[in-house]
Structure 1
Amino acid sequence: MLQLNVKDESSRLRAVVLGTAKSNGPTPKIEEAYDPKSLEHIIAGTYPIEADMVLEMDAFEAVFKKYGVTVYRPEIIENYNQIFTRDIGFVIEDVFVKSNILPDRERELDAIQYVIDQMNPAKVVRPPEEVHIEGGDVMLWGNYIFVGTYKGSDYKEYITARTNWQGVEYLRKLFPNKIVKEFDLVKSKIEARDNALHLDCCFQPVGETKGIIYKRGFREEADYMFLVQLFGKENLFHIEREEMYHMYSNVFSIAPDVVVSERKFTRLNNWLRENGFTVEEIPYAEIAKQEGLLRCSTLPLIRE
C-alpha cells in the first residue's frame, strides 16, 4: 500500500509518477493544439520529435535515481501524449484527487491505474463533472493551498482555462482545515507569452522561504501583491516575459535544497545557487515547446 503524503512543494521526495514521451504520436494538426505554444511550433515546423523528448525525460529520471526516489512511469498507450502527468491528478496530504481533464485525455489516467491500485481506495477521490482542476494549478505551502483559476465569463471558450471556480470550492470543502487561496490567471489562446496555462507557469515556491514569480501572469495585481507580502520581495525571483515563455517557474524540487532546472536557465540557476540550492541541470527545451516543463511532467506521491 502506498502511504501518500504531500504537504508542500519541496520536502524530500520519495515517490513520483514521471510521464513518458514514448510512442508520443505524430505532430498534432493545427486544430488539435491544446495551447498557443504548441500551436506556434506546429506552424513553424519546430514541434519536438519523440527521440529528443525521450532523452530529456531519461535525464530527469536519472536525477531521481541519483537521489533514491521511487519512479513510476505510465503504461504506454500507442501514439498518445503522456508527458504531463501533473494534469491528470495530484496528492494533497494523503488524498489522491483525480482531475477532470479535457475529455480526450481521459486515457492518461487509465495508464497509471496500476499505481492508483496501490493506494487506499478510501483516499482516492474524483470530483463531480462540473468541477475542473488540474495539478498544475494546485500548490501547497504551509497552511495554504494555492489554486490558479480563470474567472473570466468566457471560461468555456478557453481551452487554456483549466481550473474553474467550482474546482476552488471543491478543494475548500475537501480540506476545511486549509486556507484555499485562488489566483486569477492571464489566459490567451493565441499568444503563448501572455498565457499562464497553469499557476506553475507564473509562480512556484522553492525551498522553504523562496519563490519564482511572474508579475504579469496574474489578472489582479492584488493577487501578485499577496504573494509578495507573504514571501517578502527579497525572497522572490522575478522573471521576465520571455523567461516565463520558456517556463522558468516550472522547475521541480526534490528536496528543500535541491532543484531540478533546465540547463539554459542561466539567470535563474545562478540565483538558486547564490541562495544555497543544489541545481541539477538537465536538457528539457524540447518538451518546453508544448507549454509544460519539469513540474508539469511529475506527479509527486510521497514527500517526507
Structure 2
Amino acid sequence: MLQLHVQDETSRLRAVVLGTAESNGPTPKPEEAYDPKSLEHIKAGTYPIEADMVPEMNAFEAVLKKYGVTVFRPQLISDYNQIFTRDIGFVIDNIFIKSNILPDRERELDAIQYVIDQIQPAQVVRPPEEVHIEGGDVMLWENYIFVGTYKGSDYKDYITARTNMQGVEYLRKLFPNKIVKEFDLVKSKIEARDNALHLDCCFQPVGKDKAIIYKRGFREEADYLFLEQLFGIDNLFHIKRKEMYHMYSNVFSIAPDVVVSERKFHRLNKWLRKNGFTVEEIPYAEIAKQEGLLRCSTLPLIRES
C-alpha cells in the first residue's frame, strides 16, 4: 500500500503521478477549449501536437527518476488529454481528495484508479457534488492550506473558475487543525494574460522560505499583502504579466533545493540559482500553450516530512 504523506510543496519527493501526452487526440475545436490560452493557440493554428509534447513529458520523467522518485503514469485513454493530473486529485497529509472536475474530464480519474487502489480506502475521499476544488488551487505551507478561489457572483459563468467557496469550507471541515486561507483570483474567459486559472498560475512557494508571485493575479490587494508579510518581500520573486502568461510560477520542486523549471525562464532560473537552488531546466513550452506547466502535470503522493 502507498503510505501517503504530503505536508508542503517542497520537501523531498518520493512518489508522484505524472500525466501523459500520448494519444492526446486531435486539436480541439474553439468551442471545446477550457481556457483562453488554449483558445488563442487553437485560433492561431499553434496548438501543441502530441509529437512535440511527448518528448517534453519524457524529459520531465527522466529528471524525476534521476532523483529516485517513483513515477506513476495514467493508463492511456485513446484520443484524450491526460496531461494535467494536478486537476483531478491532490493529497493533504495522508488523505487523497478526488476533485469534482469538469464533467468531461471524469475519465481522467478512472485512468489513475490503479494508483488509488494502492491507497487505504479510508484515506480516499470525494467531496459532495456542489463542492468544486482542483489541485492547482490547493497549496500547503507550514500549517496553512492556501486555496485559490473566485468569489464573483458570476462564478458559474466562468469555465476558468475551478474552486468555489464550498470547496474552501469543505477543506476547513476536513482539516480542522490547519489554517485554510483563501485567495480571490483574477479570472478572464477571453484574455489569458489576465487569467489566473489556478493559484499556482500566480503564486508558488519554493525552498524553505521563498516564493514566486504575480501581484496582479489577486483580486484583493490584501491577499497579496498577506503573502508579502508571511514570506517577506525580499524572499519573493515578482513576475510580470507576460511571465505569468508563460507560467513562470508553475515550476515544480523535487526537494527544498531542487526545482524543475522551463529552460526559457532565464530571469527566474538565474534568481533561483543565485538563491542556492539546483535548477533542472527542461523544454516545456509546448505544454504551456494549454495554460498549464510543470506543477499542473504532477500529483505528488509522498514527500518526506
- Which secondary structure state, in structure 2, belongs to the residue aligned with residue 22 of structure 1? coil
The yes-or-no answer on 1:148 pairing with 2:144 is no
Residue in 1 that maps onto 2:237: 237
The yes-or-no answer on 1:289 pairing with 2:289 is yes
Q: Distance in 2 between matches of 1:287 and 1:85?
A: 13
- Which secondary structure state, in structure 1, belongs to the residue aligned with residue 285 of structure 2? coil
- Which secondary structure state, in structure 2, belongs to the residue aligned with residue 286 of structure 1? helix
Residue in 1 that maps onto 2:266: 266
1:142-173 CA-partner distances (Å, limit 9, x unpaired):
00000000000000000000000000000000
1:203-258 CA-partner distances (Å, limit 9, x unpaired):
00000100000000000000000000000000000000000000000000000000
Residue in 2 that maps onto 1:170: 170
Residue in 1 that maps onto 2:18: 18
Shift of 1:184: 0.1
Residue in 2 that maps onto 1:39: 39
Residue in 1 that maps onto 2:246: 246
Q: Which amino acid in 2 is paired with 1:80?
A: Y
Q: Distance in 2 between matches of 1:207 and 1:127?
A: 31
Shift of 1:59: 0.1
Q: Distance in 2 between matches of 1:289 and 1:51?
A: 14
Residue in 1 that maps onto 2:87: 87
Instruction: List alignment gaps of at least 5 residues for structure 2.
Output: none
The yes-or-no answer on 1:212 pairing with 2:209 is no
Shift of 1:137: 0.1
Give me the CA root mean square deviation.
0.2
Q: Distance in 1 between matches of 2:119 and 2:51?
A: 33
- Which secondary structure state, in structure 2, belongs to the residue aligned with residue 204 of structure 1? strand
- Which secondary structure state, in structure 2, belongs to the residue aligned with residue 189 of structure 1? coil
Residue in 2 that maps onto 1:200: 200
1:42-80 CA-partner distances (Å, limit 9, x unpaired):
000000010110000000000011000000000000000
Q: Distance in 1 between matches of 2:21 and 2:280?
A: 21
Q: Which amino acid in 2 is paired with 1:62?
A: A
Q: Distance in 1 between matches of 2:3 and 2:155?
A: 36
Instruction: List alignment gaps of at least 5 residues for structure 1.
Output: none
Q: Distance in 2 between matches of 1:55 and 1:158?
A: 32
Shift of 1:175: 0.1
Q: Distance in 2 between matches of 1:120 and 1:183?
A: 32
- Which secondary structure state, in structure 2, belongs to the residue aligned with residue 279 of structure 1? strand
Residue in 1 that maps onto 2:97: 97
Q: Distance in 1 between matches of 2:283 and 2:154?
A: 37
Q: Distance in 2 between matches of 1:80 and 1:151?
A: 31
1:247-280 CA-partner distances (Å, limit 9, x unpaired):
0000000000000000000000000000000000
Q: Which amino acid in 2 is paired with 1:218?
A: F
TM, length-normalised to structure 2: 1.00
Residue in 2 that maps onto 1:158: 158
Residue in 2 that maps onto 1:72: 72
Q: Distance in 2 between matches of 1:129 and 1:66?
A: 39
Residue in 1 that maps onto 2:228: 228
Q: Distance in 2 between matches of 1:37 and 1:91?
A: 27
TM, length-normalised to structure 1: 1.00
Residue in 1 that maps onto 2:4: 4
Q: Which amino acid in 1 is paired with 2:100?
A: N
Q: Which amino acid in 1 is paired with 2:182?
A: E
Q: Distance in 1 between matches of 2:89 and 2:274?
A: 34
Q: Distance in 2 between matches of 1:25 and 1:220?
A: 39
How high is the sequence identity, in percent, across the aligned residues?
88
Residue in 1 that maps onto 2:124: 124
